[in-house]
Every structure is written in C-alpha cells, then in structure tokens.
Amino acid sequence: MDTVKYEAYIKTVESGSITAAAEEMGYTQPGITRMINSLEEELGLTLLTRSRTGAVPTEDGAVMLTAMREVCRCQEHIEQLAAGIKGLAIGRISVGSFYSIAEVWLPEIIDAFKKDYPEIGIHTFEGLTDDISEMFAEMKLDCCFMSRPTAFSGEWIRLRNDPMVAWLPKDHPLARRKTFPLAGLRTEPFIYPAPGHDTDIDRLLQKESITPNVAFRSQDPATVFSMVESGLGISINNELQSRKFKGDVVILPLSPAREVELGIAVPSMKKASPAVLKFIEYAEKIID
C-alpha cells in the first residue's frame, strides 16, 4: 500500500504549507505538489485551496482527511507487524496528554520505553481537555493520557483515581483546616484555571451546581499557583497537577471528597499498532 501521497496531503494540511510539508518529509516542494496533484486527479476532487499565504483544505479535502489518517495508521500497523516478525522494533507513536500528566508521568514512561525500544519514535502533544479530545477525534493521536471523557468513540484504560484539592494562601483563615469545603467556592475569591475548556474543574463546578466567586482567570496553572501564593484568592486543581509546584501555598483535600479518573484513551485496542500496545503496557506498569 503506497500511502506517501496521503502523507504529503496530511502534512501539508497540518503545517499549512506545501514547502513546510516538503521539508518535514524530505522532498522538494515540486515533488509534494506533484503528489497532491496526482492524488486530486485519482480522486476526482480538489483537496487544497492554495494561496500566497499557504494551503488549507477544501470542504471535500476536510472530509477526506480523517479517512486518509486512518489508512496511514493501518499502513504503519502493517509495517510494525512485519518488523516484529523479523525480530525488529520500529515505528512511530503519537501520544496526547494533559499538561499535568505530560510533566509528571510521561517522562518516566518514555525514558523506560526508549531504553528498550530506541528505534521507535514518540511524538507528544500536550493540551487541555478540548484540545486533546479534538485531536483524538480527528485520528491524529494513537493514544491519550487524560481524565475519563464524558463521551467519546474509543476504548478506555483506567490508570489511577486522582483527588481534587484546594490551593489556599498560607495565611488564609481556612488554611489550618484539614479539608476545604466545596461551598466555599461560592464566596471566596476564586482564581479560575483555564475556564471553558471542559477541564476537570469545569466539570466539577458544573456537577456540583457551583457558581464560583471568580476574581481572576488564567490559562496557565503556574500563574494560578503564584496568584494564590500572593494572596489574591484560592483555587482548585487535581493532586497530580499540584505536585510540580513549590511555594507558600496550602493544599487541602476537598470536602466532600472529589476525584477524577485518569487513564488512557485509545481509538481501538484491536487496531492499535504493536508499538502503541507496548507503550501502553509500559505505562500501566509504571503508574501501577
């Protein structure tokens, strides 16, 4: 199966430029252009709209994009199976992840995996829930490390439950308590991390029917932590996210206790390549 034309088209769409796609794939710009022209002729469709500012998919091209990604994924699977039969270990893995998991868990998983399978390339993509979910739905990722989606088309592998916690300034009147009452979010000045991105915090507030007393908003959890440390308000996050920050912030469990389920989303375990299955196996051992 010759999927190089599909790859040329996919890379062009993702980079927004035929020139950039050519550089990434190791071809000349005219070479990529010829491949895409040939693909358009074979399909009888116009796939790209080209201009001086770059290249974007047409409506027909956007429809074809997910299917082409699936074909390329199958080709990769076949190549990895053949390599495995011959006793080799090659391949590529695209891994999506929450920022917290990418910073706390992924380095150890990747390090252990690469020591045993140095020829397998791993490409990571970090983001918020909606970013990663969109990439997953578009078949851009082989697997995603995230909190359990409310609804998605794929399979789920549970890794661990992670408690939600409150961040308070060290001199806050409630900082000496053993827990932080969820109801306090309605009155305490609240620093909202990444609102509107379907985060675990968004889901918790919605589930508990809590409208927080928002004082500040920030997309960056490090900024939120610093603002709490400066006494500008309180915030909430998961325990895993809290591990990477150090400072004069008191971290308390919520009352009543709340937690999120962290794990790995996979489009299909049956269709997953040998490299992806092995990577998941390493993740389960390390996180266990």
Please name the residues in contact with 220: beta carbons below 8 A apart, sequence gap of 6 or more.
none
pLDDT digits (tens, 9 = 90+) for 257-285: 999 999 999 999 988 888 899 999 999 99
For residue 150, the model assigns a pLDDT of 80
Regarding pTM above 0.85, the answer is no
pLDDT digits (tens, 9 = 90+) for 174-210: 999 999 999 999 999 999 999 999 999 999 999 999 9
Strands (DSSP E) contained in the chain are 48-51, 54-57, 91-98, 120-127, 143-147, 155-169, 180-181, 190-193, 214-218, 235-238, 249-255, 259-266
Confidence class of residue 1 from pLDDT cuts 50, 70 and 90?
Answer: low
Q: Which domains does the chain have, with CATH numbers?
A: 1-88 (1.10.10.10), 162-259 (3.40.190.10)
pLDDT digits (tens, 9 = 90+) for 14-69: 999 999 998 988 888 888 999 999 999 989 999 999 888 888 999 999 989 988 99
**What is the C-alpha to C-alpha distance for residues 21 and 15, in angstroms, rounded to an integer?**
6
56 touches 44 (CB < 8 A): no
What letters, b where the CB count within 10 A reaches 16 and e where it falls short, cover 252-284? bbbeeebbbebbbbbbeeeebbbbbebbbebbe
Residue 210 is given by DSSP the state: -
**What is the C-alpha to C-alpha distance for residues 6 and 8, in angstroms, rounded to an integer?**
5
Average pLDDT over residues 134-153: 89
pLDDT digits (tens, 9 = 90+) for 68-125: 998 888 888 787 777 765 555 677 899 999 999 999 999 999 999 999 888 888 999 9
7 touches 62 (CB < 8 A): no
